[in-house]
Amino acid sequence: MLMMKKLKIAVIAGDGIGPEVISSGKQVLSGIAEMSKAFEVEFTDFPYGCEYYKRTGQMMEEDGLEKLRSFDAIYLGAVGAPGVPDNISLGELLLKIRRGFDQYINLRPVKLLKGAPCPLAGVKTEDINMTVVRENSEGEYANVGARLYPNSPNEMALQTGVFSRYGCERVMRYAFELAKRERKSVTSISKGNALGYSMVFWDQIFDEISREYPEVETHKLLVDAAAMFFVKDPKRFEVVVTSNLFGDILTDLGAAIAGGMGLAAGANLNPERKYPSMFEPIHGSAPDIAGKGLANPLAAIWSVSQMLDFFGYSDWAKKVLESIETLLVEQKTLTPDLGGTAKTEEIAPAILDIIARR
Ligand code: NAD
Ligand code: IPM
Ligand code: MN
């Protein structure tokens, strides 16, 4: 008899609303494993996060990356809590994993589902449907810099952006391959008019890679204008490729125009599959609503859909996304950020119910 594939998932629920939304996502993935009979899923929980830091002085174990390495994927909630400096909590866990596992693609869909609230006037559902390919391993996040002359009148901080040819080329090629497959355009977002080294280099490499894909329509925008067009004319964007920091900022804006932080998912991919990829909602630990059952787990559930896609279960990935859309259209079981009164824990059963009904 053929052995059924077992997906081994490392779970880092993390801080604040992380554990609340991850619990919902796990339920959905387990439910799908049962329904599909195509695979089994085995979760291994890791206690890493700010509580762990307060107890041990570290965000994860010394050999944390080695422990995570053998898993098929990592499913992460959110990291960050009052009392622990954000640069430590994120730098030594989330960013350490992204960098350590060379997850150089951060794939963030900005797609307005039917029934999702949109603050923009005159926008149709189909007008907001883009995939942001955010560079996820270097750029402004390279963590290269220095603090000089601390506690003196001339103290200073230096933070250097790192843009390598290798790093730019690989993220751009990924974007072009995606666009080619899906017959979409690619828009590069940069800032060559002010950042005369890094972004001029980015633009030059984008032109070079564009020439390898003559069949793909391309556009180039400065990031300030791009932010304006996200609001004024989002339908011009299909596949977007941009640097680490610009991608971070633009995808919160993307979340805002496509239903809110409770609906925005992201996949940190190592496309070569040399290391595990990591799936997460893009929102943070939301200390303002943590522990109250108010968190919307749909972003975490959408990242389950991304995980299914990555593992090749595209039909199930699609079903998850369609079930989120149905939930939004029916307007019966929604959390307060979407105008409903449902608790976090009511969402996963409602999603599984919709999938089972189809
Ligand atoms: P945040 O995303 O946590 O929250 C921003 C706002 O969105 C808050 O008002 C919050 O209540 C709301 N919100 C976020 N997710 C929601 C959800 N699922 N349902 C309903 N409402 C939701 O951003 P922040 O407040 O800037 O950051 C809080 C902490 O999280 C900080 O420590 C920050 O560094 C960290 N952070 C972590 C990640 C991550 O782990 N991936 C991402 C962003 C921020
Ligand atoms: C995100 C987050 C992280 C980022 C932070 C928490 C380091 O905002 O995933 O969007 O900036 O990448
Ligand atoms: Mn962010």
Average pLDDT over residues 186-202: 98
One domain, residues 131 and 253: yes
pLDDT at 3 over 80: no
Tell whether 113 is covered by a domain: no
User: Of 241, 258, 275, which closes a domain?
Assistant: 258
Of the candidates 136, 63, 105, the one whose C-alpha atom is nearest the C-alpha of residue 273 is 105
Phi, psi of 45, deg, nearest 5: -85, 135
| Residue located nearest, by CA, to atom 5 of ligand 1 | 286
Biggest CA–CA distance in the chain, Å, is 73
Tell whether 111 is covered by a domain: no
* Angle of CA points 329, 304, 98, to nearest 5°: 130
One domain, residues 137 and 238: yes
One domain, residues 8 and 100: yes
Q: Virtual CA dihedral for 62, 66, 67, 68, nearest 10 degrees?
A: 110
Average pLDDT over residues 213-234: 98
pLDDT tens-digit series, residues 48-82:
999 999 999 999 999 999 999 999 999 999 999 99
DSSP annotation of 333 reads S
Both tokens of 192, joined, read: 């060559």
Ligand 1 binding site (Cβ under 6 Å of any ligand atom): 17, 21, 78-80, 86, 90, 94, 261-262, 280, 283-289, 295-296, 299, 337
Average pLDDT over residues 286-312: 98
pLDDT tens-digit series, residues 79-98:
999 999 999 999 999 999 99
DSSP annotation of 286 reads -
* Angle of CA points 73, 281, 297, to nearest 5°: 110
Residue 218 makes CB contacts below 8 A (sequence gap 6+) with 185, 186, 187, 188, 206, 210
Q: Are 127 and 231 in contact, with CB atoms under 8 Å apart? A: no
Report residue 2's pLDDT band, with 50, 70 and 90 as the boundaries. Answer: low
For residue 80, which atom of ligand 2 is closest to its CA? Answer: 6
One domain, residues 352 and 268: yes
Both tokens of 42, joined, read: 């085995």
Q: Percentage of residues in the chain with pLDDT exceeding 90?
A: 99
Is the pTM higher than 0.95?
yes
Tell whether 331 is covered by a domain: yes
Both tokens of 334, joined, read: 């929604």
Report residue 219's pLDDT band, with 50, 70 and 90 as the boundaries. Answer: very high
Cβ atoms within 10 Å of 141's Cβ, excluding its own: 21
One domain, residues 144 and 188: yes
Tell me if residue 100 falls in helix, strand or coil. Answer: helix
| Residue located nearest, by CA, to atom 5 of ligand 2 | 90
Average pLDDT over residues 195-200: 98
Q: Are 266 and 251 in contact, with CB atoms under 8 Å apart? A: yes
One domain, residues 208 and 267: no
Tell whether 193 is covered by a domain: yes
One domain, residues 250 and 275: no
Tell me how many domains the chain contains. 2
One domain, residues 324 and 358: yes
Tell whether 213 is covered by a domain: yes
One domain, residues 25 and 8: yes
Average pLDDT over residues 301-317: 98
Average pLDDT over residues 277-306: 98
- CA separation for the pair 115, 187 (Å, rounded): 27
Tell whether 112 is covered by a domain: no
pLDDT at 256 over 90: yes
Range of the domain at 136: 118-150+157-258
One domain, residues 269 and 245: no
pLDDT tens-digit series, residues 339-348:
999 999 999 9
Tell whether 99 is covered by a domain: yes
Q: Which residue has the higher pLDDT, 230 or 358?
A: 230
Strands 129-135 and 239-242 turn out to be parallel
CA of 252 from ligand 3 middle (Å) equals 6
Cβ atoms within 10 Å of 126's Cβ, excluding its own: 10
One domain, residues 314 and 275: yes
Q: Which CATH number fits the domain that encloses residue 247?
A: 3.40.718.10
| pLDDT value at residue 4 | 86
Both tokens of 55, joined, read: 């107890």
C-alpha 115: how far from chain center: 22
Of the candidates 26, 32, 30, 97, the one whose C-alpha atom is nearest the C-alpha of residue 268 is 97
Tell me if residue 214 falls in helix, strand or coil. Answer: coil
Average pLDDT over residues 290-294: 98
- DSSP lists the bridge partners of residue 145 as 159
Kindly give the residue spans of alpha helices, DSSP state H, lying in the chain.
18-36, 50-56, 64-69, 86-89, 95-100, 165-182, 198-212, 223-232, 244-257, 298-310, 314-330, 344-357
| pLDDT value at residue 358 | 82
Average pLDDT over residues 26-54: 97
User: Of 258, 288, 315, which closes a domain?
Assistant: 258
Q: Are 15 and 285 in contact, with CB atoms under 8 Å apart? A: yes
User: Of 258, 279, 300, which closes a domain?
Assistant: 258
CA of 110 from ligand 1 middle (Å) equals 17
Average pLDDT, the chain: 97
One domain, residues 139 and 240: yes
pLDDT at 111 over 90: yes
Report residue 1's pLDDT band, with 50, 70 and 90 as the boundaries. Answer: low
Please work out whether the CB of residue 282 comes within 6 Å of at least one atom of ligand 2.
yes
Tell whether 110 is covered by a domain: no
